[in-house]
Amino acid sequence: MHEVNRRWTEDPTAFKHDGAYYLMYSANHYLGENYSLGSAMAKHLLGPYKKAANNPVLRENTDRGGVVSGPAHNCVTLSPDGTEMICLYAGRTTATGDRASC
């Protein structure tokens, strides 16, 4: 598929961790090779937010032997014992093609 250079951001989710506010979001065209998850951080809930230097924080990995071809909408939660943060996301895989899977 030829990807049109469409830049948009969708599905923002915010959370607080260790006194900082984080914003995660889906970026770029859903069916494009650049569809990914980005992150930004702020000291205050209303910002200003600064994008993470390692953006995108989650992107397709099929070029590296993985199966994720389109990570998408996400949320962040704590592990049952509260010691780890876990990012859950929907997305396309090599098995689902253009259909999203969780």
Q: Tokens 């509260």 appear where? A: 82
- Interval 76-94 mean pLDDT: 89
Q: Give domain status of residue 43, yes or no.
A: yes
Domain of residue 73, residue span: 9-93
Is pLDDT above 80 for 86?
A: yes
Q: Give domain status of residue 24, yes or no.
A: yes
Q: Rounded to an integer, what distance in angstroms lies between the CA atom of residue 93 and that of residue 35?
A: 13
- Interval 22-49 mean pLDDT: 90
- Interval 89-98 mean pLDDT: 76
Residue 25: pLDDT band (50, 70, 90) is: very high
- Interval 46-60 mean pLDDT: 93
Q: Give domain status of residue 77, yes or no.
A: yes
The count of domains in the chain is: 1
Q: Give domain status of residue 4, yes or no.
A: no
* Class of residue 63 by CB neighbours under 10 A (exposed 0-12, middle 13-18, buried 19+): exposed
Q: Give domain status of residue 54, yes or no.
A: yes
Q: If you count DSSP H runs as helices and E runs as strands, how many of each does the chain have, helices first?
A: 0, 6
The number of beta carbons lying within 10 Å of the beta carbon of residue 77 is 11
The pLDDT, as a whole number, for residue 3 is 54
Q: Give domain status of residue 26, yes or no.
A: yes
- Interval 64-90 mean pLDDT: 89
The residues, any chain, with a CB within 8 Å of residue 81's CB and separated by 6 or more, are none
State pTM to two decimals. Answer: 0.78
Q: Give domain status of residue 86, yes or no.
A: yes
Q: Give domain status of residue 101, yes or no.
A: no
